[in-house]
Amino acid sequence: MDSLGKILLELGELRQAGELHQQILTLAEKQTLQTWQPPPGVGVAHCGLAVVLYERNDLKTALIHAEKGIEIFKPWGITEHLLDSYDVLARIKLAQGDVSGALSMAQTAVSLVQEPQVPDWLQAMKVARKAAWKYLLHSNQR
């Protein structure tokens, strides 16, 4: 997600974060029509909107945006953004009661950062997210 969107989410400003990501999608649609390939910013907006919708418990629509973010990021190979998308997708699936789907998304994300060319800070992110996913999965099984 973009920095401003992350800050708005951290502050609990869901409406503003949602509006920001929706504006990005609207602007990006125009560029996509010209290039036929969505730029990475469109994936960022989809991922950010997925987080907002997840927080609002609109899991069905959040799932669509998280999957769209992943679809856009894959050809670009932007690991950090793919991690964000798989992270929210895992949380959505867990909230929907799909524990195996959530675990699968979490494992996919972890496998992304096992490549030798991935920087150390991304490796650290992997460790932190893996711990968070284990906690979420464990607390959901109670």
pTM above the 0.85 mark? no
For 127-138, how does the pLDDT look when each residue is reduced to its tens digit (9 = 90+)?
666 666 666 666
Helix (H, G, I), strand (E, B) or coil at 39: coil
For 80-135, how does the pLDDT look when each residue is reduced to its tens digit (9 = 90+)?
788 888 989 998 998 999 988 988 888 887 777 666 666 666 666 666 666 666 66
The CA-CA-CA angle for residues 78, 53, 41, to 5°, reads: 30
Cβ contact 83:113 at 8 Å: yes
